[in-house]
Structure 1
Amino acid sequence: MKAAHIARQHLVSQVLLRQFTMPGSGGAGWQLMPIDVCNPERPTKLKGTRACGSATNFVAVDSASVEALWASVESRAPAALAAVHAGAPFADPLHVEVLRDLVVLHYVRSHRYRGVHASAFETTSVRLRGELTRRFPEQLRREALRRTGLHLTAPGSLAAFAERLIEQSEVTQAFESGELFRTSIENTFNQVRAMAATWQVEVLMPESGQFLVGDNPAVTVRTDTTPFSYNMAFGDAHSIVLPIGPRHLLALGPGNMMASVPRAVVDEINTVQVFAADRFVYMHPRSGLETFVRAKARQRQADRVNR
């Protein structure tokens, strides 16, 4: 029997979001502070983790399959995170593997990846339409005559017919249904996981201040620029960073290490989280970061208007 579809899917693991929580007042449970970076002046209120970091029908088809893949990592995360908090993340090689997989999972299972997937499909479709009309005009005319009874001669009508063929193809139908995305995200996770297997895990802690986490939490960065550049291709990055709590951040690097980083680096990483977010960033209610985030969100808006 096929497992039921799961509509509400967390893109930021609840096990990570819980690290940014504190007990709410009046028995409200554990809560964190979300800020809408697309509307930085909007008042905010504390929320529980179930209400944060999720998307409806992110994987629209056979979501139970991909959720099981994510669970194979997330179910092992609590023990690895406990080792981080205990100051011994490298004592067990399995913890290192889980922490690295946690970074990869959040890099792939993201709003950013879905946007890349949709953009790549659209680019490929446009290129294919151009190639069909340029390289196979006679075949298109014969197929149009066979299907419609019309003799198409104008370039525009041939292009429109080519677009119709593409829209009716199995690949396009799989894209529209979400099946192509489900297959793509699973394959990409396995590919990036294999690529990242040669990297080690750095656990970074702030000398002062706290980390926050965005809803695109695992971000590729280069640190040879100020401010840090981000969202480049995996192979062009110095690291992928993932905040796992106010006091800890994972970064893929050449060797396993624990280190403290100065406040300036913490601010750079938090800025990247704000700029790379799809809509929200999340922080500990007592982090003192609300003013910082709202200022960076306004800067993000201004930068996008001026592009």
Structure 2
Amino acid sequence: MIGGVKAARIPRQQHVVSQVLLKQFTLDEHDGRGPQVRPVDVHFPKRSNKLKSTRACGWADNFIAYDSASAEDLWSSVERRAPAAFHAVYAGTPFADPLHMETLRDLIVLHYVRSHRYRDVYTTAFRAVRGKVSGELVERFPEPLRREALRQTGLHLTNTAALTAFAERLVEQSEVTQDFGSGALFRTNIESMFHKVRAESSKWHLQVLRPQSGQFLIGDNPALTVRTDTTPWPCNMAIGDAHSIVLPISPRHLLALGRQNIVGTIPRASVDQVNTVQVLAADRYVYLHPRSTRLEAFARDTAKRWRPDPVSPYRASPTATESKRF
């Protein structure tokens, strides 16, 4: 049991990239094996990878480990609307129905929040705060701590080290720390974050962009905040510091948040920048259409150039600024 919830009810491998999105990057014919994409391992870009089904891609191990049903309901409320919205994009009419616009915007938010990147941000931020709490309790509330230590243990704690050790025990036994350990805190946090980012993104307009030439690939951290004033584009900054949030939705279509609603095209140089940040921000894999051989070479070359150390994959300086934003 996990916090009173049967672990067997929680799927171990949970998709952070929606299958309905990955399927947009697959072959039309599947040879009876289901829709497949070409993965490239950005940690080991020289490694050859076979085609994989979308079911086997874009997942995280125990992403939500505690009572994931409410989060899954939230994600599916967006994903089940995606096929109709994609059809409108491919037909060139993404703005004809306000529901399609809302769905596409929600799809960006969903993949921005339900991500390896956000789980790393959350974990790092919690541990940073957790590491300071015991010392702050001793500094700010020494006498109440001494009284509580006497009540619980019968000991008079006179030195700072002993008092800090007792404070550490209190923090470790606290409900917040226990909920962090079980995953309950992450579940409530990520659901809350989805709604906060959704409200923040409502201040932006939706852009549907096609490449003048080339194709898009998609990473396993696919929705990225970016700035476009340097090369390669910086990514994963706070929303308020970004020029846009981008999400590839097919080899020939990119969603972006900007200053106005537009359907337009972007030059090859910008396509390369979008693909570069997908490689840089990926937790482990990028995925592309199986026939995109030139793009596969681009992904491998980019990973070798910009991600030379598989032990320390690229991550933009994250967390303090972003945590304050929300």
Q: Which has the larger displacement, 280-289 or 213-222?
A: 280-289
Classify 1:44/1:24 alpha carbon distance in 2 versus 1 (closer, same or farther; 3 Å): farther
The residue that corresponds to 2:86 in the other structure is 81
2:291 to 278, 281, 286: 286
For residues 43-71 of structure 1, give each alpha carbon's deviation from its aligned partner in whole angstroms, at most 9, with x where no partner exists.
21100100000123211111111101011
5 Å matches for 1:186-205?
186-205=191-210
5 Å matches for 1:205-284?
205-284=210-289
The residue that corresponds to 1:136 in the other structure is 141
Q: Offset at 1:208?
A: 0.9
Q: Distance in 1 between matches of 2:109 and 2:261?
A: 16
- Using the size of structure 1 for normalisation, the TM-score is 0.94
Q: Offset at 1:261?
A: 0.8
5 Å matches for 1:1-307?
4-22=9-27, 26-287=31-292, 288-302=294-308
Q: Distance in 2 between matches of 1:228 and 1:23?
A: 32
Unaligned segments of structure 2, at least 5 residues: 316-326
For residues 172-201 of structure 1, give each alpha carbon's deviation from its aligned partner in whole angstroms, at most 9, with x where no partner exists.
001100000000001110111111112111
Q: Offset at 1:24?
A: 6.5
Contact kept? 2:283, 2:313, Cα under 8 Å: no
Q: Which has the larger displacement, 25-34 or 122-131?
A: 25-34
Q: Distance in 2 between matches of 1:223 and 1:270?
A: 13
Please list every run of at least 4 consecutive aligned residues from structure 1 whose deviation after the TM superposition is greater than 4 angstroms.
23-26, 303-307
Q: Identity of paired residues, percent?
A: 63
For residues 17-36 of structure 1, give each alpha carbon's deviation from its aligned partner in whole angstroms, at most 9, with x where no partner exists.
00111157753232110111
Q: Offset at 1:290?
A: 1.6
- Using the size of structure 2 for normalisation, the TM-score is 0.89
Q: Offset at 1:306?
A: 11
Contact kept? 2:281, 2:314, Cα under 8 Å: no
Classify 1:188/1:25 alpha carbon distance in 2 versus 1 (closer, same or farther; 3 Å): closer
Classify 1:25/1:16 alpha carbon distance in 2 versus 1 (closer, same or farther; 3 Å): closer
Contact kept? 2:280, 2:314, Cα under 8 Å: no
Which secondary structure does the structure 2 equivalent of 1:88 belong to? Answer: coil
**Count of residues paired in the alignment:** 306
For residues 206-231 of structure 1, give each alpha carbon's deviation from its aligned partner in whole angstroms, at most 9, with x where no partner exists.
11111000001000001122221110
After superposition, the CA RMSD in angstroms is 2.0
Q: Distance in 2 between matches of 1:26 and 1:235?
A: 46
Q: Which has the larger displacement, 212-221 or 25-34?
A: 25-34
Which secondary structure does the structure 2 equivalent of 1:260 belong to? Answer: strand
Q: Offset at 1:39?
A: 1.5
Q: Distance in 1 between matches of 2:67 and 2:16?
A: 16
Contact kept? 1:24, 1:31, Cα under 8 Å: no
